Structure 1
């Protein structure tokens, strides 16, 4: 079998290594020794003439031409294993040991990770596949080689229709197998042009059409690119909407078909859905752009005959098909394409008066203007907030100055009132009692002087204990304090008028009356004017509040924290 050269099988036996030179007739002994020594694997030394070969005996036979002899040998080996084991085992133990030996032999892999079943499926040896399937388990059927192909996938790839049928009949679940780059057997067989395998897979499971490769390309993409007419027709018959599916680059099957040279595939796709002729990829290229770039003159002519084709469509680079054709190197095909495009009214991109471009410019200008307006509004709001901040600062400083001034005035009032009680007008007698204590003028003086004293002291106490920082609260306190200072001023004025009657006496009563009239007019005028502004300020604020609730809040900046009413309120304290 191997040109007279023996193959050496080794096994481990009680710490010793034994070698048996075997030829075609001794392979049974290798299997028997493997069983008797409980060796979990069967390995062969390299062939003496071909040291690079490390395949088990199965692979030499399968890759050779002696298929019939291998089938007989396989049956003979397995039968002799059964006969020689009958004396040593029985029942369940016997069946288990036989199954282990068969699995060990059938699942043996070479340096590429290929099982005997994989090699038989790849070579198209259907009888060997059928024989191996009798002793194969799920692991054998689904084991992948280093290229991520399993037996069904490699059979579909090689176009072995009969083997694909046998494998699917044995285990229909194998149809869901996935190979490299997420490729299914349908995708692989479609790209290779194996129409019989494609039809077989579609008859078993049409859902395979929904599965795409990792780059988004499906079976129709690859079949169209390679120009396999029968496969494209079969796929479109199953699902006409497949023509609209796009890959990750946004390309349809038509984009792939125009890259090839088979115009029949292009016609089949357009018959399924003529509207796909204007579908762009993610770069804006239609099928016409790509066919022009690939110099497919016949396909360009077929595309231009369609009523849906826009010969002057622009891609993302703002180029028409004519622009692309003029960029091509001078050749017979490029010249023919340019002539064909010109016959159908193709022009360059710079010669187009595109309403879409005008609309784009208008929209761009509007966006620019809106952006400028937003920036200006943003700056205006920033300025308004800055002004409001400055006004708030000035307001706080004004309140602080007002409170400080009120404190000083209150201290002065308290000092004057306190001193007046010890320097009574008219003098004291020897007992320290006022001489005019029984007169009405003195009583009026005493009462109003006391009111002015205690009011001023109250203002001083409030100003000393007031915590600074809250502008609104400080403003309210200042309003109350101002009213108290009004009271202190009035009481001091009345006390002074009463004391004038005591000092001047009855002889110059007119002078006292004059002082009373002048003081009364001045105080009444000042207090009346201040009262008028206070009432007016309150009325204005109430009116603006009603207007604010009545109007919409579109001009919200008019109702900021610092409005005109706030400023009026400052002057109406």
Structure 2
């Protein structure tokens, strides 16, 4: 107990004195968990004590396991202590190959717990032969865990060294192919970038030749220090983030390319073991276009991959609203075969899948319930346009046609969309009506007043007065238009088809004219104020700045919605119907 206490609190002098009087305790198990002094010091995180204990221990004692099958190295690996691992392995290199009670060697544990710097170090010391597929599941486990924890350089190097690992399974039956198919963030299709980030991303260059050829040298560096771009330091956290993102995408595509090479020379048994079809279906669910495209391009037979419910990849793409993957169907000559195919559970066709509610995650990037409903209708209409007419009235096991299924599953979304449109229109109507009132009154109370002799405005010949009158008129007419559009929204019948174009068009016109009326109103106010102040230049800039405040607030609050709605209604289709034959 005295020794254990000294080790836990980091008192090496007391522990050393105890060991001098009782040297046999250096190898004894001193806790109820069967831990040695080295276990206790490693668990407590006292590096200086671990270093002293390792000097006094033999290689055999370092291999001692506690009742849970953990060596002291395994204990240090749990906590990601690089110095401890380096110290122990310097004394006994065999520790690198000793698994815990669940069969995981240190490099696997380091990956599982996210200690990537330590994982890179342990991987370099791990004997390659124990990672080969003929010697068990450890190699596949290292690749899968490296993929899951973003240590893609380890996965790529190991797959390049032993390509057969692509089709091996880890301890829980997951293959590297399936592991990569679960990581949408590793591919460009899984990241939505605003235009300026896309511009920076496209300009970043990765030195592919040097990086891949010297990958063993690169993995010796801590994960955070591997970034390099044409010999220049990446400056700025935003650009650094984009560089790291592109580096991840690059490594993922390299790994995918290696897997594709193996796929082209594999046999049926290897494909089954590697769970290739499961991986393709999973990648479809996650929306990883690059993965699905490369796999089916390597062997077009994989286009018939299906899940447990016999849903092919196009049915799955419709179910999860993966437009880019679904667009692959336009490059097939036999797309009707997929269009009439039904699943084994509910006899749902491809059009029935479009009638189901989309997974919530696939609609997260769409603002407003009305736009979500519009996107769902766009999906249904697009699928409806490619399936044979006889599919339109086909009944599933619930006795519902695709259209009936769509109506049933979207009642709640349609109700929320109606409420959202009415609330938005009501709020904007108040603003528009207020502007109409102000601008109508302003034209009869012009700045400077009227000439009592002829009734003409005193500032009639001033240029700024012309600006005031034109701006006032434009604001009045545009705000009146916006009010009428919003009233049209409030009195709409709100049928399903209205959400496709009619309601969004009214909202687009209403918001556009309301925005224009606010700009014109602020212009009229500024012109009137400058006329009354006799065009004093010193007041001009403050007036302009103050007038821009309401305009800026409107832009921040409503303009993104306006752009999104206009793009969704009149922008390019989310489907690539002109896709050419791709195999």
TM-score (norm 2): 0.43
Which one scores higher on RCO, CA 8 angstroms, separation ≥ 6? Answer: 2
Give 1 or 2 for the bigger CA radius of gyration. Answer: 1
- TM-score under structure 1 length normalisation: 0.44
